[in-house]
């Protein structure tokens, strides 16, 4: 699963993403796998496939049951069990059960000490739970195993910027993530947020103008750009008009109007 949590924290890749337009196909696949797994109860590969399909279909209880059945049938101290615990932990995260997610991911971490995905996912769970010191430790552990992972760099940068960490380190991490994946709008957004908090409004403004120009309907990008424009002491008429448009709600906040104003400022 790759789904990201805009803006700031991003989910590391674990299972295939779920798309709303594919829901009918996912439901059909899930029904077929349930029938096959029932017909062949000893086939752990079918149980695992059922669990993965259920996650994609957002039927988390079925997924958890399937994963638990696989886990009960294998060596609990094996690396394979660690992989199942990782899936269980991420499924609980998607369900919003952060306590059980952290428990499963903690077991996965013991069984898969060299897998950076485990502490990276655990860091996200702690982040979402408001346990920021634990999240920071987990993110740093993930980066020791995979120093160039842009998602973990991004997540740690955002955490440090938003929750009292070192802004200089946050900017360095965010810049590295942006350099590795310059086309990622979310990494760009994080870098802009960090620049805003360090007082580098010119850089933040340039980054956010580009993002809003590309996606004027995105509320997060608009909100961040409005914050930068609001902090600047002097604005031109187009900038003032853009700020007013960004702060507008409903039909008054026209994406076409915002795109035109961004073009003028550029």
Contacts of 173 (CB under 8 A, 6+ apart): 153, 154, 156, 157, 160
Please list, residue by residue across 171-208, b when 16 or more beta carbons sit within 10 angstroms of its beta carbon and e when fewer do.
bebbbbbbeebeebbbbbbbbbbbbbbeebbebbbebb
* pTM of the full structure: 0.83
Query: Higher confidence at residue 240 or residue 63?
Result: 63
Average pLDDT over residues 213-225: 91
Quick one: 131 exposed, middle or buried, by C-beta within 10 A (0-12, 13-18, 19+)?
middle
Query: Higher confidence at residue 49 or residue 255?
Result: 49
Distance CA 126, CA 135 (A): 5
Lookup: tokens for 69: 């059945």
Model pLDDT, residue 263:
78
Segment 140-182, tens digit of pLDDT: 999 999 999 999 999 999 999 999 779 999 999 999 999 999 9
Model pLDDT, residue 28:
79
Report in angstroms the alpha-carbon separations of 127 from 10, 135, 138.
11, 5, 10
Segment 2-28, tens digit of pLDDT: 334 434 555 554 554 444 445 666 677
CATH number for region 1-146 = 1.25.40.10
The count of other CB atoms within 10 Å of the CB of residue 67 is 27
Lookup: tokens for 221: 């990008």
């Amino acid at each position: 699963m790759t789904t990201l949590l805009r803006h700031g924290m991003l989910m590391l890749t674990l299972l295939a993403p779920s798309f709303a337009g594919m829901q009918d196909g996912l439901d059909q696949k899930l029904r077929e796998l349930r029938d096959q797994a029932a017909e062949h109860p000893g086939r752990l590969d079918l149980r695992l496939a059922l669990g993965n399909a259920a996650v994609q279909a957002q039927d988390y209880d079925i997924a958890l049951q399937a994963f638990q059945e696989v886990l009960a049938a294998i060596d609990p101290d094996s690396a394979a069990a660690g992989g199942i615990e990782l899936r269980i932990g991420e499924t609980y995260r998607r369900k919003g059960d952060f306590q059980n997610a952290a428990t499963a991911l903690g077991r996965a971490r013991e069984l898969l000490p060299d897998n950076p995905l485990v502490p990276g996912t655990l860091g996200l769970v702690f982040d979402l739970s408001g346990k920021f010191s634990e999240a920071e430790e987990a993110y740093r552990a993930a980066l020791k195993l995979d120093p160039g992972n842009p998602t973990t760099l991004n997540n740690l940068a955002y955490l440090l910027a938003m929750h009292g960490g070192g802004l200089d380190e946050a900017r360095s991490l965010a810049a590295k993530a942006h350099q590795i994946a310059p086309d990622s709008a979310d990494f760009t957004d994080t870098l802009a947020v960090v620049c805003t908090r360090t007082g580098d409004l010119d850089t933040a403004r340039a980054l956010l103008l580009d993002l809003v120009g590309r996606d004027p309907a995105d509320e997060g990008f608009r909100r961040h750009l409005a914050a930068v424009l609001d902090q600047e002491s002097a604005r031109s008429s187009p900038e003032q008009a853009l700020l007013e448009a960004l702060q507008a709600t409903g039909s008054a906040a026209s994406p076409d109007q915002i795109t035109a104003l961004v073009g003028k400022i550029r």
